[in-house]
Amino acid sequence: MLEACRQVGMPKGLPNSRNAYIEACNKPSPKAKQLWSHAAVYLAGRDSGWHMLANEIERKAYPIFNETYRKYCDRVLAGEKLEIEIPKSLPETSEKKASQAQNLKQLKKLQKLMD
């Protein structure tokens, strides 16, 4: 009954806890670049732990997600605007090149491994 009352006052686009859990479990990586029904779903998934959501049984994972998601829903109901921050990606290569001496040292280590 309490959950039904909560849903009446929910803003458009904010799914119920069960649908939010399913969405969080099924979105592919990278998670921050996916299209989410609401930022609260992404944030609850992130805070619950993507690895846990992907690897634990629902009986164990859903209560953790549900508690986290409800906290985000309460913040939305209080008027807070939630946003998904896309993490900065790492550079493809290192800015600093290895010296010839470092390269030779590394090569010798590899040669020892092959012997």
Per-residue pLDDT tens over the stretch 40-66: 999 999 999 999 999 999 999 999 999
pTM: 0.70
| Distance from C-alpha of 106 to C-alpha of 104, rounded to nearest angstrom | 5
Question: Which pLDDT score, from 0 to 100, does residue 10 have?
Answer: 65
Work out the mean pLDDT of the chain and round it to a whole number.
88
Tell me if 21 sits within 8 A of 65, measured CB to CB.
Answer: yes
Tell me if 52 sits within 8 A of 65, measured CB to CB.
Answer: no
| Distance from C-alpha of 65 to C-alpha of 42, rounded to nearest angstrom | 11
Angle at which helices 17-26 and 58-77 cross, to 10°: 120
